[in-house]
A and B are shown apart, each in its own frame.
Chain A
Amino acid sequence: MAASDQFQEDVVLGRAFDRRLMGRLLRYGLPYRGRIAAVAALIVVVTALGVASPVIFQFAIDGPLSSAVGAGDPGSAAPSGALGGLLILVLALGAISAALMALRYLEIYAMATIGQRVMLDLRLELFEHLQRMPLSFYDRNPVGRLVTRITSDIEALNELFTSGVVTFVADVMVLAAITVTLVVFNATLALVTLAVVPILLAVTFVFRAKAREYYRDQRGHLAHLNAFTQESIQGMGIIQLFHQEERNFRRYAEVNGRYLDAFQKTVLAYSLYFPAVELLGTAALAAIVWKSGRLLGEGALTFGGFFLFWQYLGRFFQPIRDMAERYNVLQAAMAAAERIFKVLDSPVEPPQAPPSGRGPGPRGRVELKDVWFAYAGGEHVLKGVSFAVEPGETVAIVGATGAGKSTIASLLSRLYEPQRGSVELDGIDVREHDPRDLRRRVSIVLQDVFLFSRSIRDNIRLGDGHIPDARVEECARHVNAEPFILRLPGGFGHVLKERGATLSSGERQLLAFARALVHDPDLLVLDEATAHVDTETEVLIQDALAKLLRGRTSIVIAHRLSTLRRANRIIVLHKGEIREMGTHAELFERRGIYHKLHQLQYK
C-alpha cells in the first residue's frame, strides 16, 4: 500500500479568471441575490463612513481650531463658538464610529452567511450527483480524490465568495472613494500623492508574482514532506525490519531541507516587500510635505487639508496589498471550480425507466440470456452465459476464483450492464425496472462485508428508518447474530469503529445475513465466505444460511460442498462459461467436474 493522497495536494494552479467558470459559479449566487444586493449597499455605506474621519479632522483644524494653527499669533483668542464646533465634530466622529461598528458587523456576518449557503448548496448538489454515479465511476476514481472535491475544493470556493469577490469590490471602492476625495480637495496635491500608486502597484505585482511562485514551490515541498512522513509512519515496520532507519532519516532530512530552502525564499520575498512598501510610503509623505510647503505658502492649501492628505496616504496601501492577495484566492478557486464542475458534468446512471410495473413472468423469476460482460478494458469474464432461476429455487454456482461469479450479482442489481444479452427479472429486462425498486428487491451479500461506522442496528436496517427495532432484533436472532451482538457494549446500539474492524469475519458474515433478511428481498444473491472461521461460528453460519435460503429465490456462489448439496440446482462455471448444470444427483451421475470435486473432498 502506497501512501494515501491525504497529504498530497494539487499544486498545479491555472488561470485566475475564466469567464465561463465564473459565470457558472455566479449562478449559485442567484438564489441569494436579495442579500447580495443588501451587502453591496452596506459596502457602499461602510466605505463612505470609513473614509470620513480624516475629513472631520480637516474640518476641525480649519474650523474651530484654526486660531491655534499657522503663523498667526499664538494664544490669540479662539473664535466664538469654537468649543461648540469642536464638540459637534467630536460627536459626529463618535456617531460615525458607532454606526460603522454596527454596519461592519452586519456586513461581515451577511457576507459569511451568503458564502456558507452557496457552499452548502454546491456541496449537496455535488454529493447528490455522486450518489447517482454508476458504480464504474467509483472503480475509476479513488475515494480520496472524491473526498477532496467535496471538502477542500468547495472550501476554496467559499474563500472566493466570502473574502474574494466582495472584498475585492470593497477594496476597489475604498480606493475610488479616497481618490475622489483627494481630487476634489486639491487636484495638484492629489496628483503628487497618486504618483506613488503606479510604483506601489508595480512593486506589489512583482512581489506577488514572485511570492506566488515561491509559495507554490513551498507547498509542493511541504506536500512532499508530509507524504514522506506519512509513508514512513505507515511503513515504519518495514523500515525497522530492514534496518533502514539511518538511510531513511537522511532522506527525510533532505526532503525537510528542501522545504526549508523553499521557505527561506518566501521569507526573503516578504522581508524585502514590507520594508519596500514602508519606504515608498515615506517617500510619498516627503513628496506631499514638500509640495504642501509651496501650496501653503501660496495659500492654495490649508493645514487641515495637509492633515487630510497625510491621513489618507496610509489608507492607500492596505487595499492594494489586499487586492494582490485576492488574486491567489481567485486562482485557487478557479482550479477548484474546474475540478468540481468536471464531476458535476460526468453523466449519471442510465436514466430511470418509466416504472413498467410488474413484468409478465412469475414474480421473482430470474433469467440470464446469452450474457457477455467485460469490465472496462478487460477480458470477458462472462461469455454467453444463460440460465434461469425459478421462484423459490436455490441455485448454486461453483467455479474458480475470478470475477465471473460475483459479476452475476452486480448484473442482477444493474450495478453494471452486460455488453451483450439480457438479464431479466419477472420476465422483463432489468433495464426496464426502476433501478431503485429493482435494488430493493434484490439483496446481495458479499464475502467482504462492508460495515458503516454506525450502530449495529443501523448497519442492519441501513437507512430504512421505517423498519422497527423489534424487526431488526428479530432478524438478527433468526440468523444467530443476536448472541454476539448482545455481548457488545451497548448491544444493538453499539457503534462500530472504522468499518467494523473489531468484528471477526464470521460475525461480519452474520450481520450481513441479518441485513439481507431484514430487507426481505425477492431475490437473494450470496457470495459464500471462503475464510476459515472457528467451528462454533461455522455451525452458526451454516444454520443461518439454511434459514435464509428456505423458500427464497436465491443464487449462491458456493465454496462448501454442504452448501452445494442444499441447492436445488448447481451450475459449474469455468472461464466465463457454463460447463455443467443440474441437480446434485444428476451431476454426480454424469461423473464430470462436479463429481471429481466431490470425490476429492471425501477421499
Chain B
Amino acid sequence: MDTLRFIWPYVRPHWRGYALGLLFVPFSVAAGLSTPYLTGEAVEVLERSPGQTEELWRVLLWLLALSALGAASLFAVRWLVIGASRKTEFDLRNRLFRHLQALDQLYFKHARTGDLMARITSDVEAVRTIAGPVVMYSARTLVLLAAAVPLMLSVSPALTLCVMVPLSLLTLAVRMVGPRVHASVLRTQETLSELSSAAQEDFAGARVVKSFAQEEHEIRAFGEIAQRYLERNLEVSRIQAIMQPILGGVGDASMIALLLVSGLLMLRGSLELSELVKLAGYQLALIWPMISIGWIVNQFQRGRASVDRLKAVLAVEPAVKDPPSPSIPALGAIEGAVSIRGLTFSYGAVPVLRHVSIEAPAGKTVAIVGRTGSGKSTLVSLIPRIYPVPDGSVFVDGIDVNRLPLELLRRSIGFVPQESFLFSRTVSENIAFGVEEPEPEDIYDVAETTRFSKDIDQLPRGYEELVGERGVTLSGGQKQRAAISRALLVKPAILILDDALSAVDTQTEEEILENLKGATRGVTTIVVSHRISSIRHADRIYVLGAGAVAEEGTHEELLRLDGIYADIYRMQLLSDELEHM
C-alpha cells in the first residue's frame, strides 16, 4: 500500500495514458479467449458436417475479425501503459536528481557515489516495473480470470477444477521460489563486485605487485574469489534448474488431469471433443497469467525495498538552505569583506576547527598555511556555505552568510577547490561553467591570465576539445589552470584558491600569480597553500595548526617569530632551489 502511495504522485499526471490503456484490457482478453472458444465451435461444426461449409467459413471469419481486434487492443494496452510508465520513471528520476542537487556537501561526504547511482538506476527501475508491467499484467490477469473461469464452468465444473487446481500451484511455485532466486542472484552480484574490486585493486597496484614479486599470490587470491563466484552462480542455476522443470511439470499435470477427466467424461458421453478443445485452449491461455500472479507479488516485494531506499534519500533535508527572510547588502551586490569570528566546526564529534578568527578586508589578499589535515580546506569551504555554517561565525560584508541569499553569495565567490574537478565537456564549456552566456573573448582572456591558453592551442580542437573519458586527459597542472580560469570568469568579488597551484611548477606559478595580481585588483583573495613562495606577499598570513590559528602576521613578522611558519619556509627553500637550478 505504501508502495502505491509513493508511486501515485508520479503516476497521476499520466493517468490518461493508463486509463485509456486499461480500457483496452477487456477487449484484448475477450479476443484472446475467443480463439479457443471459436476453435471449439469450428470443431463442433466439423463434427456435425465435415467439409468446407459456409458455417465453418463464418466461424473462421469471426475468429479472424476478433483476433484482429485483439491484436489492436493488445497493441494499445502495451503502448499506452508501458509508455505512461516510462514517463512516470522520467518524472521520478528528475525529482530525485533535483533533490540530490539541493543536498549539501556534508551529505555527499558520507554517501557513496555507487550507492546513490544504484538508487537512481536500479531502484527507479524497480519502481517503474511496478508502474508499468505489473499494472498491465495485474489488470490482464484479473480480467482474464474473471472471464475464463465462468466460461470453463459453463463447460464442465469438474474439468475447471482439473485445470485450475494445478495451475494455482504455478502461482505458489513462483511465489515460493522467486524470492529465493532473487536472494541468490543478489549474493552472486555481491561476489561479482568483490571480484571486480579485487581485480581493480590488483591492476591499480600493479607496481607494488611487481616490485614485491607478488604475482603468484595475487593469482591465487583472485582464483579463490573467482571460484567462489562460480559456486554462487551454480547456486542460482541449481534453483533455476529446479524451478523450470517444476513450472513445466505443473503445466503438464493440469494437462494430464484434463486428459484423464475429459476422457472419462467423453466415454460417458457427457463431453464433446469441441468442449475438450475449448478447455485445452483456455488452459493454455491461463498458464502465463497464473505464473504472472506469483511474479507480480515478487515484484511488489522487491519494489517495496526500492521504495524504502528512494524514500530515505528523498527524506534527507538539505542542511544548507536559502534563508527565509534574507538580508541583502545595501548596494545589492557584495563588496567582498570576509570575516570569520570564533568559528568552531565539526563533521562529526571531533571539531576540525576551533575558535578560528580571520579577517579579510575587501580587496585584500589573505593566506592560510598549515600542514595537511589542519583544517584549511574546511575553513575556506565554509565561506560559500558548502557545509552548514554555525550562525554568527562567518560574515561577508558584515552580514552572516546564513542570512545572505544563497545565489548572491555563491555568485560573488570564485572558488578553486583542491581537487580540480572538470566535467567531460569541452574546454570552453568547462571554463564558462559558471556563466550562462559567455563572451568568447572573456574566455580567452581568463585562459591568458592563467597561462592556460598556450596549452589549449596545442590541443587538436583547441577550446572545443572534449575533456575526460572521450577526449583528452589534461595533466594535473592543466586541470588546475582550467579550474582557476573557471573561477575568474564569474568575475567574483571574493576569490578563493584552495591549494590551487600545487601541480604547477614554480616558474609557471609565479607567472600566474603575477597575472592574477593584475586581474584581481579589488577582489578579496583568500589563498590556501602548501608553498610559502606563492603566499609570501599576502597582506596577512594565518598559520593553522590542528584546527586553530597558531600564528598570524606578514611574511616578515612570521619569520621573525621563528615558529611553524619559519620551519616550513626553511624546508621548502631546499626543494624550491633544486627546481630553479
Question: Bound pair: A and B?
Answer: yes
Q: Is the CB of B256 within 8 A of A504?
A: no
Tell me whether A231 is interfacial, beta carbon within 8 Å. Answer: yes
Docked complex Cα distance between A4 and B202 (Å)? 18
Asked, given contacts A68-B269, A226-B121, A249-B98, whether A112 binds B252 with beta carbons under 8 Å apart, the answer is: no
Docked complex Cα distance between A33 and B572 (Å)? 68
User: B273 to chain A: which residues have CB within 8 Å?
Assistant: 61, 65, 68-70, 303, 307
User: B78 to chain A: which residues have CB within 8 Å?
Assistant: 267, 270-271, 274-275
Which residue on chain A has the smallest CB distance to residue B255? A53
Which residue on chain B has the smallest CB distance to residue A601? B574
Q: Is the CB of A104 within 8 A of B244?
A: yes
User: A22 to chain B: which residues have CB within 8 Å?
Assistant: none
Q: Is the CB of A131 within 8 A of B72?
A: no
Quick one: which of B87, B211, B245 has the most chain A CB within 10 A? B211
Which residue on chain B has the smallest CB distance to residue A131? B215
Q: Which residues of B contact A (CB under 8 A)?
A: 35, 39, 42-43, 46-53, 56-57, 59-60, 63-64, 67-68, 70-72, 74-75, 78-79, 82-83, 86-87, 89-90, 93-94, 97-98, 100-105, 108, 113, 116-117, 120-121, 192, 195-197, 199-223, 226-227, 230, 233-234, 237-238, 240-242, 244-246, 248-249, 252-253, 255-256, 259-260, 263-264, 266-267, 269, 271-273, 277, 280, 284, 371-373, 384, 386, 406-407, 410-411, 413, 415, 417, 419, 421-424, 433-434, 436, 467-469, 473, 486, 490, 530, 568, 570-571, 573-575, 577-579, 581
Asked, given contacts A123-B226, A127-B219, A401-B579, whether A240 binds B105 with beta carbons under 8 Å apart, the answer is: yes
Please give the distance in Å from B458's CB to the nearest CB on chain A: 15
User: B53 to chain A: which residues have CB within 8 Å?
Assistant: 293
Which residue on chain A has the smallest CB distance to residue B530? A532
Q: Is the CB of B423 within 8 A of A235?
A: yes
Q: Is the CB of A260 within 8 A of B208?
A: no
Q: Is the CB of A65 within 8 A of B266?
A: yes
User: A102 to chain B: which residues have CB within 8 Å?
Assistant: 245
Q: Is the CB of B101 within 8 A of A274?
A: no
Docked complex Cα distance between A74 and B384 (Å)? 93
Q: Is the CB of A130 within 8 A of B203?
A: yes
Asked, given contacts A86-B264, A93-B259, whether A601 binds B573 with beta carbons under 8 Å apart, the answer is: yes
Please give the distance in Å from A63's CB to the nearest CB on chain B: 10
Number of A-B contacts (CB under 8 A): 414
Docked complex Cα distance between A474 and B371 (Å)? 31
Tell me whether A113 is interfacial, beta carbon within 8 Å. Answer: yes
User: B256 to chain A: which residues have CB within 8 Å?
Assistant: 90, 93-94, 97
Please give the distance in Å from B55's CB to the nearest CB on chain A: 10
Contact of B241 among A112, A127, A146 (CB under 8 A): A112
Interface residue stretch chosen among A164-172, A182-190, A438-446: A438-446
Q: Is the CB of B211 within 8 A of A60?
A: no
Asked, given contacts A61-B273, A105-B245, A596-B577, whether A289 binds B82 with beta carbons under 8 Å apart, the answer is: no
Q: Is the CB of B63 within 8 A of A279?
A: no
Q: Is the CB of A64 within 8 A of B214?
A: no
Q: Is the CB of A120 within 8 A of B226?
A: yes
Docked complex Cα distance between A257 and B97 (Å)? 13
Please give the distance in Å from A233's CB to the nearest CB on chain B: 5
Asked, given contacts A82-B267, A116-B234, A294-B52, whether A282 binds B64 with beta carbons under 8 Å apart, the answer is: yes
Quick one: which of B74, B83, B199, B434 has the most chain A CB within 10 A? B199
Q: Is the CB of A68 within 8 A of B267?
A: yes
Tell me whether A296 is interfacial, beta carbon within 8 Å. Answer: yes
User: A296 to chain B: which residues have CB within 8 Å?
Assistant: 46, 50-51
Please give the distance in Å from A19's CB to the nearest CB on chain B: 29
Docked complex Cα distance between A600 and B230 (Å)? 63
Which residue on chain B has the smallest CB distance to residue A463? B217
Q: Is the CB of B50 within 8 A of A147?
A: no
Tell me whether A21 is interfacial, beta carbon within 8 Å. Answer: no
Docked complex Cα distance between A441 and B240 (Å)? 52
User: A230 to chain B: which residues have CB within 8 Å?
Assistant: 113, 117
Asked, given contacts A112-B237, A135-B210, whether A290 binds B117 with beta carbons under 8 Å apart, the answer is: no
User: B202 to chain A: which residues have CB within 8 Å?
Assistant: 127, 131
Please give the distance in Å from B167's CB to the nearest CB on chain A: 15
Tell me whether A263 is interfacial, beta carbon within 8 Å. Answer: yes
Q: Is the CB of A268 within 8 A of B217?
A: no
Instruction: Mark contacts of A73-87 with chain B using CB atoms, 8 A cut-off: 1 yes-contact digit, 0 otherwise.
Output: 011101000110011
Docked complex Cα distance between A245 and B101 (Å)? 6
User: A407 to chain B: which residues have CB within 8 Å?
Assistant: none
Q: Is the CB of B410 within 8 A of A240?
A: yes
Q: Is the CB of A293 within 8 A of B271?
A: no
Tell me whether A341 is interfacial, beta carbon within 8 Å. Answer: no
Please give the distance in Å from A334's CB to the nearest CB on chain B: 22
Q: Is the CB of B578 within 8 A of A242?
A: no
User: B93 to chain A: which residues have CB within 8 Å?
Assistant: 256
Contact of A400 among B210, B244, B579 (CB under 8 A): B579
Asked, given contacts A68-B273, A82-B267, whether A440 binds B213 with beta carbons under 8 Å apart, the answer is: yes
Docked complex Cα distance between A235 and B53 (Å)? 75
Docked complex Cα distance between A267 and B223 (Å)? 42
User: A290 to chain B: which residues have CB within 8 Å?
Assistant: 52, 56-57, 60
Docked complex Cα distance between A174 and B419 (Å)? 61
Q: Is the CB of A415 within 8 A of B210?
A: yes
Docked complex Cα distance between A270 and B113 (Å)? 34
User: B79 to chain A: which residues have CB within 8 Å?
Assistant: 267-268, 271
Docked complex Cα distance between A439 and B413 (Å)? 52
Docked complex Cα distance between A462 and B226 (Å)? 20
Docked complex Cα distance between A157 and B549 (Å)? 60
Pairs A-B, 10 closest by C-beta atoms: A463-B217, A2-B468, A112-B237, A297-B51, A275-B71, A242-B434, A282-B67, A97-B252, A68-B266, A108-B241
Contact of B578 among A61, A237, A306, A400 (CB under 8 A): A400
Tell me whether A244 is interfacial, beta carbon within 8 Å. Answer: yes
Which residue on chain A has the smallest CB distance to residue B238? A109
Q: Is the CB of A143 within 8 A of B47?
A: no
Docked complex Cα distance between A109 and B245 (Å)? 11
Docked complex Cα distance between A568 and B436 (Å)? 62
Which residue on chain B has the smallest CB distance to residue A292? B46
Q: Is the CB of A241 within 8 A of B415?
A: yes
Instruction: Mark contacts of A382-398 with chain B using CB atoms, 8 A cut-off: 1 yes-contact digit, 0 otherwise.
Output: 00000000000000001
Asked, given contacts A90-B263, A109-B237, whether A3 binds B249 with beta carbons under 8 Å apart, the answer is: no
Contact of B410 among A226, A243, A256, A464 (CB under 8 A): A243
Contact of B424 among A3, A97, A596 (CB under 8 A): A3
User: A462 to chain B: which residues have CB within 8 Å?
Assistant: 208, 212, 214, 217
